[in-house]
């Protein structure tokens, strides 16, 4: 397992990256993708403050176990978010945002099925997971529209096409 803690002027939080399992791009590429994703998500939401975030790059077996335990769904999924604290949208950041876990096989399969670069899909899922930690959700149509609009705008800042088009 590789760990890469850091923060920068572009990323207002300390981000720990763990490459736990799965067939992922090189750690330097993951770091670049995560830094860009976090920076645009924070820019788009206007979130500010000091906090920490962990991103785990794992595989379908691990995320399936997490999904079964925490959501009662015994199947793999692309990304799960585990907030350390409840954060109201636009609220003050807690000292720790939480964890985002991605599953390599599901992420790669979705990118191939949707004919999009893997790097774009990873970036989108990191933004999606981070928005959950920042208090956004998609349980209702209105919430989904709001969250997807933020995702689209954040991705557009990186010249990544609309994933919902």
**Domains and their CATH numbers in the chain:** 2-157 (3.40.390.30)
Strand-pair partners of 57: 19, 102
Percentage, residues of the chain above pLDDT 90: 74
Q: What is the pLDDT of residues 55-94, one digit of tens each?
A: 999 999 999 999 999 998 999 999 999 999 888 777 788 8
Distance (Å) of CA 138 to CA 68, 142, 143, 144: 20, 8, 5, 4
Rounded Cα gap, residues 19 and 21, in angstroms = 6
pLDDT at site 137: 84
pLDDT above 50: residue 5: no
Torsions phi, psi for 130 (to 5 deg):
-65, -40
pTM for this one? 0.90
pLDDT at site 49: 80
**Confidence label for 112 from pLDDT (cuts 50, 70 and 90):** very high
Distance (Å) of CA 59 to CA 38, 92, 101: 22, 32, 9
């Amino acid at each position: 397992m590789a760990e890469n803690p850091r923060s920068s002027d572009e990323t207002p939080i300390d981000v720990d990256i763990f490459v736990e399992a799965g067939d992922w791009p090189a750690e330097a590429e993951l770091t670049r993708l995560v830094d860009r994703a976090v920076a645009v998500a924070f820019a788009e939401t206007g979130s500010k403050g000091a906090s920490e975030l962990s991103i785990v790059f794992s595989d379908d077996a691990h995320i399936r176990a997490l999904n079964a335990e925490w959501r009662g769904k015994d199947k793999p999924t692309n990304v799960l978010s585990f907030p350390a604290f409840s954060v109201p949208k636009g609220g003050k950041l807690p000292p720790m945002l939480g964890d985002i876990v991605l599953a390599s096989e599901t992420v790669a399969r979705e990118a191939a099925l949707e004919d999009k670069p893997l790097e774009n899909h990873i970036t989108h899922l990191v933004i999606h997971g981070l928005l959950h930690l920042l208090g956004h959700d998609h349980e209702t149509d209105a919430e989904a529209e709001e969250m997807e609009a933020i995702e689209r705008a954040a991705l557009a800042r990186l010249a990544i096409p609309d994933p919902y088009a």
